[in-house]
Amino acid sequence: MSTFSAPKGTYDLIPPESAQFLAVREAFSAPLRRAGYGYVETPGFEQTGLFSRGVGESTDIVTKEMYTLTTRGGDELALRPEGTASVLRAALQAGLHRGALPAKLWYSGSYYRYERPQAGRYRHFSQVGAEALGAEDPALDAELIILAADAFRALGLRQVRLLLNSLGDKECRPAYRAALQDFLRALDLDEDTRRRIEINPLRVLDDKRESVQQQLTGAPMMRDHLCEGCKAYHEQVRELLTAAGVAFEDDPRLVRGLDYYTRTTFEFVHDGLGSQSAVGGGGRYDGLSEMIGGPELPSVGWALGVDRTVLALRAEDVAPQTPAGAQVFAVPLGEDARRALFAAVTELRREGVAADFAYGGKGMKNAMKSANRSGARFALVLGDRDLAEGVVQLKDLESGEQSPVPLERVVAAVRAKLG
C-alpha cells in the first residue's frame, strides 16, 4: 500500500466502476455531436479575475470555494470551479465570435471547489458541458435543454425532473432587484447575507438554510416583473419544450448559484439523491462576455454532473451500457506458441476485435481462469502440438465447445463466430 492517498474530498476512478463514468460522458456528448457542437478543451487553471468577474464576487464559489495560488511571477491563478467562463474566454481569444454564429461547443473535464465533502458533493468533480455562443434565440435555449433531457433518457433515468424559470434581462431586472432588496433588508439576516443583498440579492433566494428560507415567504418573484420581451421569449421556450415532449416544472425561485444568468434558467434534479439533488443545469448568460472584457455576445449553455448522474443511476438501479471488454482471450502454452499467438492477437486488434492475452507465463489452469474472468466469449488456446500442426484451438467459453482452426485463418474464423 502507498504512503499516499487521494486528497480529502476527491476520488479515483478505477475499473470496473470507471466504465459507468465513461458511459455517462458518452451519453451526454453523443447528442451534442449530432447537433453540431464541436469539442473544446481549456486549461485546468485560469486567471483568478476571470471567475471573480464572470461567476460573481457574491457567489459562494468565489468567496469560499475557489482554490487559488500565486505563481513565482506574481500571477493570481485559480483552479477552474466551473466551465462556462473558461470556454467563453477561449472562444473570444480564438476569435470565434467573428465567425459563423452561433459557435456551438462542448467540453468535458474536472473542476475544483473547496466544499464540505459528502455524497454527491466533492472537491474534485466531473462535468460535461455545452455552450452556444453568439445568438439570442429561444430555439437555441430549447435545443440545449432537449439535448440534455434526451441524454438522461438515453441512460435509462426516469426520475429526473426539469425545473424552469426566467431571470429577466437588463431592461426588467433592475426594478425587480430594487423591489427584492427592499423586501430582504427588512428580514432578520446575518451580516454576510446582508452584504450579499447589496451585491446580488438573487443569491439570497438561493440560500439553502432553513432559517433564511422561512423568511422568504412572500418575497417578490421575477416572473411578476418580467418585461413583455422576456415574457414572450420565455413562453416560446416553454412552447418548444412542450412540442418536443419534454416535461418541465415552473420554479419561480430558481436562480442557480452563478451571477451571470439572464432570461432562461433551468435545473435538472433527481429526488433520489437527497440534498444534493441537482444533476445538471444552466441557462442564458447574455452579459457574460462583456463582464470579462469581450464584446456583446448573447449565449446559452449547461453543465451536467457526471458524478451525480452515476449516483442517480445507482439510486434507480439502472446499469448503463458500458464499453465491451475483451471478446477473445489468448492462452499460449510454450514460448513458440506465445510468439505465434501474440502475433494473432495483434492482428485481431487491428481488425477491430477486442482481444486480451495471458501474460506472465501462466499455466493452462490459471490462464483459463483469467479467460473466464475477462468476460470474453472465446478463448484461443495454442500449444506446441497445435503449433506443429499449424492450428489453434478456438473454444467457446459459454458452451465449452472447442474446434481447431488453421492459424493463418484465425482472424477470419473469430470474426465469423462473432458475427
Q: Is this model's pTM higher than 0.85 or not?
A: yes
Task: Express each pLDDT in 370-410 by its tens digit.
Answer: 888 888 899 999 998 999 999 999 999 999 999 999 999 99
- The model's confidence at residue 59, banded by pLDDT at 50, 70 and 90, is low
Q: Which CATH superfamily is domain 18-172+226-315 in?
A: Bira Bifunctional Protein; Domain 2 (3.30.930.10)
Task: Express each pLDDT in 139-156 by its tens digit.
Answer: 999 999 999 999 999 999
Task: Express each pLDDT in 160-186 by its tens digit.
Answer: 999 999 999 988 888 888 888 889 898
Residue 151 to residue 321: CA distance in whole angstroms: 13
Contact at 8 Å (CB) between 168 and 271?
Answer: no
Fold of 328-418: Rossmann fold (3.40.50)
Residue 158 to residue 170: CA distance in whole angstroms: 37
Task: Express each pLDDT in 277-323 by its tens digit.
Answer: 899 999 999 989 999 999 999 999 999 999 999 999 999 999 888 76
In the chain, domain spans = 18-172+226-315, 328-418
* Range scoring the smallest mean pLDDT among 47-61, 112-126, 400-414: 47-61
Do 328-418 and 18-172+226-315 fall under one CATH topology?
Answer: no
Q: Is the peptide bond before 16 cis (omega within 30 degrees of 0)?
A: yes
Identity of the residue numbered 105: L
> Please, is 135 exposed, middle or buried when counting C-beta atoms within 10 Å of its C-beta (0-12, 13-18, 19+)?
middle
∠ CA 283-278-35, rounded to 5°? 45
Mean pLDDT for 42-63 is 82
Task: Express each pLDDT in 184-201 by its tens digit.
Answer: 898 888 888 888 888 878
Task: Express each pLDDT in 33-47 by its tens digit.
Answer: 999 999 999 999 999
Mean pLDDT for 99-106 is 97
Report which listed range, 223-237, 274-288, 316-330, is most confident. Answer: 223-237
